[in-house]
A and B are shown apart, each in its own frame.
Chain A
Amino acid sequence: MKRLHFSLVALACLTTAWSVAAQDDTLARNLVATCANCHGTDGHAVKASGMEALAGADAAKTLQKLHEFKSGVRPTTVMQQIVKGYTDEELALIVGYLARQK
């Protein structure tokens, strides 16, 4: 009886953990879709466009770049304006999702 009880709790925890992760992943996916118009679907930029490929890019490096755009350290034409529309948590989700793309 006790064992069953335990495994049910474990199962419940697992399910909760899974759905939070799944929700985050969907959120990250949706956020990355807002980048795709310029950077390609899931960060796979069209080669001939000359845009840097973000798919598979190192998360920490991309995040640092985004923060430099945000703070103004790294001057750009449009990214410093767009990045300010996203929270730091969202930027972290975005770079994590991009890094996982092959």
Chain B
Amino acid sequence: MDDRRRSFIRRAGAAALAGALPTYAGRSSAATRAHVLVVGGGFGGATAARYLRLWSEGLVEVTLVEANREFVSCPLSNLVLAGERELADLSFAYDGLRRRGVRVVHDTVIALDPVKRAVGLLGGERIGYDRLLLAPGVDFAYEDLPGLQAAPAREHVLHAWKAGPQTLSLRRQLAAMPDGGVFAITVPLAPYRCPPGPYERASVVAAYLKAHKPRAKILVLDANAEIVSKKGLFGKAWAELYPNLIEYRPNCELRDVHAATRTAILDFEQVRADVLNVIPNQRAGELARLAELRLVNQRWVDVDWRSMESTSHPGIHVVGDATFAAPAMPKSGHLANQQGKLAAAAILELLAGRSPSPTPVLTNTCYSFLDARNAVHVASVHRYDAGQKTMLPVAGAGGLSVARNEFEAKIAAAWALNIWADTLA
């Protein structure tokens, strides 16, 4: 028995002896003194950690292991590329969660033992748990691209699909690009993180180029047969705001990259760019494989939507981009946050010896900027369907913006402030 579990039992025993049990809605104190370990402090994991503390009124112990010192928001990071926002404005320390009593450990989980219920960290620490929640986000399938195997190549041809240093590097590449240069973005086959994100990127970078390098061009090389999300709204904006600036090519699956010359190698063609932005194919973060969780298409974690537990490993909850999405459910920060709360609620019920809600509801809204001042949204509501054992979009609910507008750009900024607080404050 490791130290954590020993001390867990010691504390539970002490509380029982003390008699004055802190009651959490009438639950037994052993359950309320449970320890939940959250790995990954992005939108999904940070939200789960925060709500586990809030909803248990501090009675459940929560440890969050996160590799990075700072949370850097992908939402709004495309505006950093366009020179409209500073990355520092999208970066947050984990102080808010610490103030809520979450023990935040900056380290990387490299080992996992579901039987002994413990994880091992790169730094050597071993942490036990009663329930585990994994929110590792996505990993890039670089094995599909031989030319990007080497680390230096990856610094030359950036993804900027995890906000952070890469966002700043891509911004520098764009700022250094000559007028008349070509910026090429490759879009992976769906599903990938943030379906409208690549097209938002093309839009706001186009706005930047239009103002500062009017002879430059953008090439969107899309592996998909058509624009994956908000097709009509992006198509209209590109035709009206950026005619002859953005060229869109569907069915262009990236086969390899020649990093030194910034060349995208497609099936029948090679495209040289001045700035090449490759958004690689994606799969659940490495943790999912480390835990040997059941994957769909060998990529995404199969979950029970009532509790967000792995279907192969009950007791291990998984939220966010790493999950195999339900029908019409995008991989978004909004949904990762919502799934974090669904999992937190389910974990508290399970710790109290009850079943999680049989009818969970999730909503999504994704805003995309078309230039610094105009935005559009897509929204949906998803409910658990007991017959099909998955979440289904509610017919008649959800939808798109009618047209791009300035009001929704303000709402998008307001959304960011509120979701950051709901995740981290």
List the interface of chain A (C-beta within 8 A of B): 22, 26-27, 29-31, 33-34, 36-41, 45-46, 48-51, 77-78, 81-86, 90
Shortest Cβ distance from A15 into B: residue: B26
Q: Please provide the chain B residues from 370 to 403 with a CB less than 8 Å away from any CB of chain A in the complex.
A: 377, 379-383, 394, 396-399, 401
A49 and B415 alpha carbons, distance in the complex (Å)? 8
The yes or no answer to B291 lying at the interface (CB within 8 A) is no
Q: Given A33-B341, A34-B338, are A40 and B398 neighbors across the interface (CB < 8 Å)?
A: no
Which of B231-239, B260-268, B356-364 contacts its partner?
Answer: B356-364
Shortest Cβ distance from A18 into B: residue: B26
B362 contacts A34, C-beta separation under 8 Å? yes
A29 contacts B55, C-beta separation under 8 Å? yes
Besides A49-B414, A77-B405, A78-B411, 8 other A-B contacts (C-beta < 8 A): A33-B341, A33-B345, A37-B334, A38-B411, A38-B418, A41-B422, A51-B418, A78-B365
Q: Name the A residues within 8 Å of B417 (CB-CB).
A: 46, 48-49
A30 contacts B381, C-beta separation under 8 Å? no
Chain A's nearest CB lies how many Å from the CB of B67? Answer: 24
A51 and B418 alpha carbons, distance in the complex (Å)? 9
Q: Name the A residues within 8 Å of B425 (CB-CB).
A: 41
Q: Name the A residues within 8 Å of B363 (CB-CB).
A: 34, 37, 82, 85
* In the complex, the 6 A-B pairs of residues with the closest C-beta atoms, listed nearest first: A85-B381, A85-B397, A49-B414, A84-B397, A49-B417, A85-B394
Shortest Cβ distance from B380 into A: residue: A85
Most buried by B among A37, A46, A81, A86: A37
The yes or no answer to B212 lying at the interface (CB within 8 A) is no
The yes or no answer to B419 lying at the interface (CB within 8 A) is yes
List the interface of chain B (C-beta within 8 A of A): 25-26, 51, 54-55, 334, 337-338, 341-342, 345, 349, 357, 360-363, 365, 377, 379-383, 394, 396-399, 401, 405, 407-408, 410-411, 413-415, 417-419, 421-422, 425
Chain B's nearest CB lies how many Å from the CB of A72? Answer: 12
Chain A's nearest CB lies how many Å from the CB of B73? Answer: 13
Q: Given A30-B357, A85-B363, are A37 and B411 neighbors across the interface (CB < 8 Å)?
A: no
Q: Which of B54, B408, B414 contacts A50 (CB 8 A)?
A: B414
Chain B's nearest CB lies how many Å from the CB of A13? Answer: 16
Shortest Cβ distance from A79 into B: residue: B379
Q: Which of B345, B362, B413, B418 contacts A36 (CB 8 A)?
A: B418
Q: Which of B381, B408, B421 contacts A86 (CB 8 A)?
A: B381
B381 contacts A77, C-beta separation under 8 Å? no
